[in-house]
Structure 1
Amino acid sequence: MPGKSTWGPFLYHRIRMFPFLALAVVTVGIVVVLEVVSYRALERIPSVATEEFPEIDRELLGKFSSFDPELGWVPQPDQEKQKDTGDHLPGEELRTVVTYSTDEYGSRVCPAKDRDTDADVTVSTYGDSYCFCREVNNDETFQHYMAQELDTHVANYGGGNYGLDQALMRLKRQYPEEPTDYVFVVVTASSIARILSVWKHYQEFGNILAVKPRYVLEDGELERIDSPVDEKEDLLDLESKADFLREYDFHYDHWFKPHYATRPYTTDFLDDAEKVRYALYEAGIEIEKRLERPIPGIDFDQAQTQSMLRMEQARVRYHERLFETHEYLFDALIAEFVDYAEEQGFTPVFAMVQQLRYAKYEAEHGPIYGDLLDRLDERYDDLETVDMVEHLSPDDGDVESLYVERGEGGHYSPETNREIAKVLADVVES
């Protein structure tokens, strides 16, 4: 038959090739699955960026009730919110819900003492979430305990994720409405990064709603760069402002791009054992949620928190380098605070407090801000400074005992806030 001699070898060759083709298909399938799984895992790891411009939908935008065109965001007046701190395991009874309340000024309420314009001494505080006292109730803030110590109202104008720059901006906006004898600015060392930021996502991946103004130094003078977002709706199209964000946010080049995940995602994921551990703990938490009960033998929530703190050490070292290269901007903001105090006639107090991620690092390496507070003392006769680390060092070295046990992790406990209040009240009384 014609063609018989041709088809035989052809079919034989095809049959012999089949195992190799099957192996190739299986290999490609495994690679694709690994890439998808790795990308999904990287999406959940806080130390990795997987998108430059994640989608912001209208539902998420609607929840952004603190938007402020001048400051970026600010606690709104006459609000009361209850926050589940996460202080429970799946299936367990809820143990901790904290209440955040603000008064007509947008200050967190001070249950210990009402405002009194005839008080012998008046006090206000400005700063970040450690000033606001997240993760504790209204009557567990250091302002509440401080008001008890001083027998006077203590206003709380802390703002979550604020840097020294936003604290100063809020002070200048608020002080004319509520002048006080003493103004405390209370921030963590992460302010060194926040004052270089315009869009928080470039340094705190996933914090996509937080667009803010900042200051730059021009010929030795502070110049304010306003936020590029005038209306909340503008957040829906941040990519159109990409050039501005990349130019004025220092972290785009120095933190975001080095931590931006690229293909092959599998290599990016598997090359770091800490990322793998974090993903496994995340999977354990998801399983517990589905089962609606904890898995005996391991506290996945606590293990994941410890994993996150280990990954955060790289950020702490990054912030330490920023104090070496950009402390001049920090100093300039402190100088502006002191000048404004002289202009308005109040006593300025600057207090540095400590996030948990810094506490664990600094216990071995010393403060990442070096002798900053000593230099500020020498430079400004009218400025009072408080390095809270010097007052909050447990004898047993267990720095974690200063903070809430679970929850978002890293804010001071009510007991620690009581100690902080005594230290700050001493500044006024002395």
Structure 2
Amino acid sequence: MLPLVATALALVVGVVVLEVVSYRALERIPSVATEEFPEIDRELLGKFSSFDPELGWCPQPSREKQKDTGDHLPGEELRSVVTYSTDEYASRVCPAKERDPDAELTVSTYGDSYCFCREVDDDETFQHYLAEELDTHVANYGGGNYGLDQALMRLERRYPEDPTDHVFVVVTASSIARILSVWKHYQEFGNVLAVKPRYVLEDGELERIESPVDEKEELLDLESKADFLREYDFHYEHWFEPHVASRPYTADFLEKSEHVRYAAYTAGKELERRLERSIPGIDFDLAQTQSALRLEQPRVRYHERLFETHEYLLDALVEKFVDYADEQGFEATFVMVQQLRYAKYESEHGPIYGDLMDRLDERYDDLTTIDMATHLSPDDGEVESLYVERGEGGHYSPETNAEIAQVLADVVEERAVAE
């Protein structure tokens, strides 16, 4: 009897341990949600310096931040620390050319982190290279994780104080998901501080739904706003609920072999950190990045479907941009750039946004559109070469930013000739 009891007890303990380990592993896998309302502690909240009650979050003026992109081991000399600086307008600093109120040509850019040029230094952004090409200051009002909606909200707020002749809106295809979002956690699991306003279409007209968070402290109790978040965030029902883990967690963890690989690579990185040296034979950082890209593919396909079902909302926002340009008298350009996860997928399946750019060209005579993917063709055919080698998620390299600047400069110069 005792051996049976001991065996049963050992089995129970083993199951419990496996459940705990599986849950902890799932917590670190970016494609899996483990709970709807994770606890937000005050220390994390205190670091959220970009909180903005109107936009959700926004770069702050006159700041300098150094960001370690992670390309080193503990104890090693840092190899990939980048500097992000903003001026008094909260525009990223443009080292190539100071602001000149009497400049004959003025240019500004709005958009997401690819507009902000995350993961490169201030003098490696496409705005810096564009300023060199055009010999004028180029304002950079990109915001990390912004969709087209927030980019336009920031444009309407900032433009009256910083009007320019040319405005480039630069976004990635993930805008189709971001404009349907109110709380980023429902689609980008773990992004718990990002609560934002959005637009909805009512009888063919855009209606702005304000952020439910007026004070940063309210983020500590988002569960009290659950009804609002679930109602206005499209992804709660269509992405979050299908991807939230549930007991038995072991089954969810083992369901995909990629889960196990990602967990193994993460454990390898942690072991290297503790040992303060690399383990020969495998690059755990690179392996983890590649695993994360594979885990991202279902979300890319999800976004592709959103272009089929919700492109009308994106179209309405582009029309808002065109109307604002006409009202304020600036030249408008809409630029689509690619995140690495899209570039990998689209190299095999074509653009997830279909014929969007062609349709915009046909619809708006006063809008210039640029599909940057058609201008960026690496010699070796490997799209990865367009992006920084390591870091937070594959933003464009300085060399690619220089190419982008040339494309944008050509647009400005062609307009000058046409006039």
TM superposition score category, shorter chain reference: over 0.9
Separation of aligned partners in 2, 1:84 and 1:355: 20
Residue 152 of structure 2 is aligned to residue 160 of structure 1: no
Per the alignment, residue 179 of structure 1 pairs with: 163
Task: Decide which of 382, 385, 392 is 2:366's aligned counterpart.
Answer: 382
Q: What SS is found at the alignment partner of 2:361?
A: helix
Per the alignment, residue 427 of structure 1 pairs with: 411
Residue 172 of structure 2 is aligned to residue 197 of structure 1: no
Separation of aligned partners in 1, 2:221 and 2:248: 29
Residue 386 of structure 2 is aligned to residue 402 of structure 1: yes
Per the alignment, residue 417 of structure 2 pairs with: none
Q: Give 1:394's aligned amino acid.
A: P
Q: Is the 8 A contact 1:100 1:108 kept in 2?
A: yes
Task: Decide which of 12, 17, 27 is 1:43's aligned counterpart.
Answer: 27
User: Following superposition of structure 1 onto structure 2, how do residues 326-365 of structure 1 map, counting pairs within 5 Å?
Assistant: 326-365=310-349
User: Following superposition of structure 1 onto structure 2, how do residues 1-400 of structure 1 map, counting pairs within 5 Å?
Assistant: 17-400=1-384
Separation of aligned partners in 1, 2:273 and 2:135: 46
Deviation of 1:186 after TM superposition, in Å, equals 0.1
TM-score by length of 2: 0.98
Post-superposition Cα deviations, 1:313-350, rounded to whole Å, max 9, x if no partner, equal: 01100000000000000000000000000000001100
Q: Is the 8 A contact 1:91 1:294 kept in 2?
A: no
Separation of aligned partners in 1, 2:7 and 2:45: 48
Stretches of structure 2 lacking an aligned partner (at least 5 in a row): 415-419
Separation of aligned partners in 1, 2:77 and 2:361: 49
Tell me the matched-pair count. Answer: 414
Q: Is the 8 A contact 1:90 1:294 kept in 2?
A: no
Q: Give 2:309's aligned amino acid.
A: T
Stretches of structure 1 lacking an aligned partner (at least 5 in a row): 1-16
Query: Greater shift after overlay, 82-91 or 137-146?
Result: 82-91
- Identity, % of aligned positions: 84
Task: Decide which of 376, 399, 411 is 1:415's aligned counterpart.
Answer: 399
Q: Give 2:6's aligned amino acid.
A: A
Q: Is the 8 A contact 1:356 1:400 kept in 2?
A: yes
Q: Give 2:216's aligned amino acid.
A: K
Deviation of 1:90 after TM superposition, in Å, equals 3.8
TM-score by length of 1: 0.95
Separation of aligned partners in 2, 1:360 and 1:59: 37
Deviation of 1:187 after TM superposition, in Å, equals 0.3
The runs of at least 4 aligned residues of structure 1 exceeding 4 Å deviation read none
Q: Is the 8 A contact 1:72 1:211 kept in 2?
A: yes
Separation of aligned partners in 2, 1:189 and 1:313: 14
